[in-house]
Structure 1
Amino acid sequence: MEKSVVSVVRVGADVESAVRRAIELAGGLDGLIGPESRVLIKPNICSRDRSGTGKITDARITGAVTKIILERKPSRVVIGEGSAVGYDFPDLQDTMMALEESGTKAEAERLGVPVVDLNRDSHREVEIPGALAMKTVKIASTVLESDVIISIPVMKTHIRSAITLSLKNMKGVMPGGEKRKTHQLGLELAIADLNTAVKPHFTVVDGLVGMEGLWEYPDDCVRPGLVGASRDPVALDSVFARIMGVEVREVMHLQYCQEKGLGIADPERIEVCGEAISEVRRPFRPAFEAVKSRYPGLAVLGEKACTGCTNEFISTLIYIRLAQQVDRLSGLTVVLGEAPEVLPAEKAVAIGKCAQRLEGRFPFVPGCPPGVDEITRKVCEVCHIDIRLVLQKREELHRTIAGKAMRESI
């Protein structure tokens, strides 16, 4: 039985050498990239953060991969990304700002490679054969015009999909409205459908620094010091899920992708080269475990919430914790995403457009997604927290080095 090959390499002082070794162990790029190839390099720059925070792909990894690809002299190389929901407002907050903050834009300029904001690119509607949830999807033209897609995710757990690696990284090829749609239709089903249309041809995963829990910087930083690669994105995600201590059978989008024939998730059918999983395994803390331990007494209903609302709310929690007002959250229920028909709660806040059916019955914060300040004010009002104290702590945080890396993030 032929097995999918995934490499796992420890990274020392020379990041580029580690990336080269990972690519070579995974079978290399021969037969994949030639003189006529049009290559899209797709890092995960989901938010406006600096390299080294673990929230976004480290620019050093993106630069090393780009350099290696350029050595093969393809006809075109582009670095493209469409950052998360809320990053599609030119001159206010958009992907280009995130690419600049991360250092990715500077790497691209150094190597003479253009960068493209896939949120603002023209888009085309694509039909998905054998769709599980999403029959059609809008995809950036730059992506569809590429012969080879190289995905460069960063190691992170995720509040909705357990992990976010190569397969989920492809959400960046869609405009903001389409990203929201994936949550409404069922995120993990939609990830499988999306990769049916635009599956990466090769993946290099950034495991220098990753994120667990709620992606709070620096508390949730994890430093595996790894890089990995594979021609099979499903197999790569399976291996790095295991490294993060996540059971592969519990990651539904991996199962769906395997069933659709997009790759191999079954550990028995994957060959790991380089470091053994047992030697580098480091369990990452799940998001809801972090919520329960840091915010006891707070209930969060967010089964179909997108990252837009979720991440703005997590920022609110960070500010309240810094203000030492966590005790006042006890008994609060927060609804993110699609609201339930019945909500047996005395104290609740509904956040975002998808929870609008609760407006009138419970305090409601409109928006898609609403801003963190609006969410913070409403939660403080309901929980009788001094908003001035919370905003003061927020400003103090933003003046620190950690705050600069975290600002407008997640």
Structure 2
Amino acid sequence: MAPGITLKKGRFSQSLRKALEKYYEAIAVGPSYTAVKWQRWIDNANAVPLRATKDGNKLGWIVYNSTESTVEEILRDKESTDEKDLFQMLDALIARETLVAAEILKEDTDRYRWMVKYGFRPTRFFTKDDVPVVKMDLSTSILFKRLERHKSPRPYRRKKRVAIERVPESQTYPEIKKSLENLIRKLGGLKRFVKPGQTVVIKPNIVSDHGLKDGVWQGGIVTDTRVVKALVEILLPVAGRVIIAEGSSINRSETSEMFAHYGYDRQLVDLDPQKVSLVDLNTDEQIEKSVPGGKRMLSRKIPLTLEKADVIISVPVLKIHFAAIVSLAIKHLQGAVPPLEKYMSHFFGLWQNLVNIHHLVKPKLTIIDGLVGQENFGPISGTPKKMDLLIGGMNPVAVDAVAMRIMGIDPATSPPVLLASLQGMGPIEPHLIEVVGPQIQDVMSRFQQPEIDLTGGRDITIHGENACPGCRGYLHFVLTKLRRPDPKDTTRLLIDRPFEKKVNIFLGPTHDHGINPEEQNIFMGICQLHNAHQGTHLPGCPPHAEVIVNGLFGLFPDVEKPKYANESEEKKLGEMLHHILAMP
């Protein structure tokens, strides 16, 4: 990070104004621009001038918009061609603000150059104050690299409590219910979470129909219906209403079909039809809410059912995710937003938007279903792993940290969990978490993680040494679709089909391979946006699988691309993709 650098709130002084005018005069921008910009800052209480000092010496200024997490200006006190000072000022800023953006003039090519070098990428071009402006977003991969071994600046005055409860191996329904009651008791009892007459929403994971095939239960994919049933029965004597709400995966099937598939209508609603109901969050009425700090997206649309709930209980599954490392409490709320919001999360930054959702949809209690977990290529196609556990707590980050350690995985390796921790949502450090019940070492069983294969083909080369798990995982997922016989020559794989021009796929913020304009170049994600003009760009952070499929199968126009849903669902995906790509 930036040793000796401090940032303190200053004021819009004449010295700052002179530095501003001098900078833009040097790049031949007229005084009218700086005058308008200055007045906008004066009128905006959210524009904060931060005075940067190094070892007590004045270094420069950062003007930071706290509601949009955006650097509106960065200036040095003295003339210098050394970028080190600017980099250290930004290091000091991200140490306290984490993921930030910046706005710069389109014609300010020198600033654009060094900001790209630092790790910012151009994500949007627009006009502000009648001047062309570039929105620059900091690469999440670069953020993690620059904040290695950095702890959240937020002090936790009390340890966050996470409870672990063993379930007997036989897993009978009475045993599951009793274990759930024990878990809730360890966390302070039901009265700590639910008051008489309140409306409680239970958010399970029923992402797809893979958990029940031909009448045979496949554990570790969706929340065990018995856990949800037991929770409903525990709640009914106290709650006024119990709503089971879910928004199934956008490329799988309708949520109503999933409810019926897993018997929610028969097994759960029939417990008390007057008090228990099902809600499809994909079709629920929505309310738009501002995102605190405006990171990546200024607002999100949230289902009204969740907004009106007195209590939300999140019930994810103990499982691996091929891109997020795990799909636990933090990842689970991706199913709590409408389909377009799910899709948009990928385009504007999935990891940050998972954190954003938790600012708007705040579960009071998280209970991880660890009766049977899922290892290898989760969250859908992995291998069941019997664990006989329930894990619960009030803080989703702490719950994820404990669950990941039970799985034998470092919590800092999951991008959304790490980001949530860095932004002060909860701790992942063991000394800040109180574990009640069996200790982690007593129940730990290492989960096998998927092997990510980014080897290319005869004329396809992958350059992704420094990419985050997101792009690597999603690209691997699509590459497996190319490792099948080529219809033009079944003696070889499709990925080994020869091309007249070699194909390069670039992902991650940096790579060692030079870009040859005479070859076919594909650039993945926000990290490669600065190179997008040199080939084909696949937008997103990480790009959605559908985007990668469209990009890679475009190399094989004679081959039908894979489909992930029925025709009507595929059409919806296509319409959403078109809508997002057309956004300004």
Aligned with 1:104 (options 264, 279, 293): 264
Q: Does 1:95 align with 2:258?
A: no
Q: Aligned ranges for residues 71-150 of structure 1 at < 5 Å? A: 71-72=237-238, 74-87=239-252, 93-111=253-271, 112=273, 113-150=276-313
Q: Distance in 2 between matches of 1:203 and 1:132?
A: 24
Displacement of 1:349 in angstroms is: 9.0
Displacement of 1:57 in angstroms is: 1.0
Q: Distance in 2 between matches of 1:85 and 1:336?
A: 25
**Cα 1:18–1:31 shift into 2, 3 Å:** closer
Match of 1:20 in 2: 181
Match of 2:204 in 1: 43
Post-superposition Cα deviations, 1:250-301, rounded to whole Å, max 9, x if no partner, equal 33433433344433322111111222111222222333x25469x9999597
Post-superposition Cα deviations, 1:282-323, rounded to whole Å, max 9, x if no partner, equal 222333x25469x99995979697999779848847988xxx
Q: Distance in 1 between matches of 2:479 and 2:231?
A: 32
Structure 1: gaps of 5 or more residues: 88-92, 395-410
Q: Does 1:225 align with 2:225?
A: no
> 1:226 is paired with a residue of what secondary structure?
strand
Aligned with 1:3 (options 155, 159, 162): 159
> 2:289 is paired with a residue of what secondary structure?
strand
**Cα 1:326–1:38 shift into 2, 3 Å:** farther
Q: Distance in 2 between matches of 1:325 and 1:215?
A: 31
Q: Distance in 2 between matches of 1:103 and 1:335?
A: 45
Displacement of 1:38 in angstroms is: 1.2
Displacement of 1:343 in angstroms is: 8.5
Q: Distance in 2 between matches of 1:317 and 1:15?
A: 43
> 2:243 is paired with a residue of what secondary structure?
strand
Greater shift after overlay, 224-233 or 117-126? Answer: 224-233
Post-superposition Cα deviations, 1:321-370, rounded to whole Å, max 9, x if no partner, equal xxx999664699778999x9969997999999xx9x99xx78x9xx9865
> 1:223 is paired with a residue of what secondary structure?
strand
Q: Distance in 2 between matches of 1:114 and 1:244?
A: 34
Q: Distance in 2 between matches of 1:242 and 1:106?
A: 36
Q: Letter of the aligned partner of 1:172 in structure 2?
A: G
> 1:222 is paired with a residue of what secondary structure?
strand
Q: Aligned ranges for residues 303-382 of structure 1 at < 5 Å? A: 313=478, 316=481, 329=495, 370=546, 378=553
Displacement of 1:197 in angstroms is: 1.2
Q: Letter of the aligned partner of 1:94 in structure 2?
A: E
Q: Distance in 2 between matches of 1:31 and 1:47?
A: 33
Displacement of 1:95 in angstroms is: 1.1
Query: How large is the Cα RMSD of the aligned pairs?
Result: 4.7
Displacement of 1:229 in angstroms is: 1.1
Instruction: Say which one has the larger Rg.
Output: 2
Q: Distance in 2 between matches of 1:130 and 1:163?
A: 26
Across the two proteins, how many residue pairs are aligned to each other?
A: 376
Post-superposition Cα deviations, 1:120-150, rounded to whole Å, max 9, x if no partner, equal 0111110022233222100001000101100
Q: Distance in 2 between matches of 1:314 and 1:105?
A: 39
Aligned with 1:174 (options 326, 337, 344): 337
Q: Tell me if the contact between 1:23 and 1:204 (Cα under 8 Å) persists in the aligned partners.
A: no
Displacement of 1:106 in angstroms is: 3.3
Match of 1:398 in 2: none
Match of 2:222 in 1: 56
Q: Tell me if the contact between 2:329 and 2:400 (Cα under 8 Å) persists in the aligned partners.
A: yes
Displacement of 1:221 in angstroms is: 2.3
Q: Distance in 1 between matches of 2:516 and 2:165?
A: 48
Q: Tell me if the contact between 1:43 and 1:80 (Cα under 8 Å) persists in the aligned partners.
A: yes
**Cα 1:223–1:248 shift into 2, 3 Å:** same
> 2:359 is paired with a residue of what secondary structure?
helix
Q: Tell me if the contact between 1:9 and 1:227 (Cα under 8 Å) persists in the aligned partners.
A: yes
The TM-score, its normalising length taken from structure 2, stands at 0.54
**Cα 1:217–1:277 shift into 2, 3 Å:** same
> 2:190 is paired with a residue of what secondary structure?
coil
Q: What is the aligned-residue identity percentage? A: 28
Displacement of 1:115 in angstroms is: 0.8
Bigger share in strand: 2
> 2:387 is paired with a residue of what secondary structure?
coil
Aligned with 1:160 (options 312, 323, 346): 323
Match of 1:267 in 2: 430
Displacement of 1:5 in angstroms is: 1.3
**Cα 1:36–1:220 shift into 2, 3 Å:** same
The TM-score, its normalising length taken from structure 1, stands at 0.74
Displacement of 1:201 in angstroms is: 0.4
Q: Tell me if the contact between 1:85 and 1:307 (Cα under 8 Å) persists in the aligned partners.
A: no
Q: Distance in 1 between matches of 2:453 and 2:491?
A: 15
